[in-house]
Homo-oligomer: A and B are copies of this chain.
């Protein structure tokens, strides 16, 4: 009897969208684990194990503009958790209103833990390493590593949290990055698409499922896959022809000319698109990807359905209490707007 029932369920699954779920899994699309233990196993870093205290400390630092030279810019300025984890502007803009010199767009921090590497050229191996970059970059937070350490060391509550969470380490820009990275690891956003992959066939409408089918069959999933639905590899861009907006900025990828494939999770919340933020139009972005990466012109109907599918990747954001930061002291470096 049990065998018969399992057989019947399998039959229904394949007959309806079950086949599509299998197809999606075969294409390498993976859900964010629903079970907390499994999720934490996936997002944890053996070199920087997650603890509640470290995550809370990292959250404070993430929202703390005093880590910037001006005292006005925090991680959250460009990776705004209220706005899909990015900033809505084409080019990242920081200290003294300087744009990113390569006209690069701020990627979302949500689900960035699933990226195999960080930054558009993939130069940082993880979030902990990434977090140390923008703090110091002159057109971003423009703070010298030493200045960031001084800020943290001058505030007793921070100092105590660091000695609790990193008992055998001095406070350095690297430990600051480790705290921030720990917080960022928790910023994952499960969506309807995860429920679908986990077997809830009703989680996606018929049209969204058609979009997913096209997404797989056209080849989008050959790069946008894994738990991040992207983020797992570096690719040539453009692979075919010319990128319509290639004149915007001078970014040509890493040393091998490769560009990180971004996550598609929450993509409808993270316009403008591409490494150089060249268009706010998701339909145009999909069309361009079809041409430059798949060498084919997608029809308006196909694009529309793919966009419907992309909507299923808008996930539920973690609830975050806005932190009340510990007050600075007489030894805290003062902000410098110049």
Mark each residue of chain A from 45 to 88: 1 if its CB lies under 8 Å from any CB of chain B, else 0. 00000000000000000011110001110000100111110011
Distance (whole angstroms) from the CB of A320 to the closest CB of chain B: 5
A-B contact pairs, 13 of them (CB 8 A): A63-B82, A71-B88, A71-B89, A72-B77, A82-B322, A82-B323, A84-B327, A97-B97, A280-B330, A319-B321, A320-B321, A321-B322, A322-B322
Residues from chain B with Cβ under 8 Å of A281 in the complex:
330
- Closest 4 A/B residue pairs (Cβ): A97-B97, A322-B322, A320-B322, A82-B325
Is A16 an interface residue, CB under 8 A from the partner? no
Distance (whole angstroms) from the CB of A84 to the closest CB of chain B: 7
The chain B residue sitting closest to A96, CB to CB, is B97
Is A3 an interface residue, CB under 8 A from the partner? no
Residues from chain B with Cβ under 8 Å of A325 in the complex:
82-83
> Which of A281, A314, A337 gathers most chain B CB within 10 Å?
A337
- Majority-rule SS of A interface residues: loop
Is A334 an interface residue, CB under 8 A from the partner? yes
Distance (whole angstroms) from the CB of A191 to the closest CB of chain B: 13
Residues from chain B with Cβ under 8 Å of A337 in the complex:
89, 91, 93, 97, 99
Q: Is the CB of B334 within 8 A of A324?
A: no
The chain B residue sitting closest to A272, CB to CB, is B334
Is A328 an interface residue, CB under 8 A from the partner? yes
In the complex with contacts A322-B82, A337-B97, A337-B99, A87-B72 CB distance below 8 A: yes
Q: How many of these chains are in the complex?
A: 2
Distance (whole angstroms) from the CB of A151 to the closest CB of chain B: 11
Q: Would you list which residues of chain A between 209 and 229 have a CB under 8 Å from chain B?
A: none
Is A335 an interface residue, CB under 8 A from the partner? yes
Distance between Cα atoms of A321 and B314 in the complex (Å): 20
In the complex with contacts A99-B337, A321-B320, A72-B93 CB distance below 8 A: yes
Mark each residue of chain A from 268 to 301: 1 if its CB lies under 8 Å from any CB of chain B, else 0. 1101100000001100000000000000000000
In the complex with contacts A82-B324, A280-B334, A71-B87 CB distance below 8 A: yes
Is A317 an interface residue, CB under 8 A from the partner? yes
Distance between Cα atoms of A63 and B72 in the complex (Å): 15
Q: What 13 additional pairs, Cβ within 8 angstroms, besides A64-B82, A70-B93?
A: A66-B83, A72-B87, A81-B322, A81-B324, A82-B322, A82-B324, A88-B335, A93-B337, A269-B327, A271-B328, A280-B334, A314-B327, A319-B321
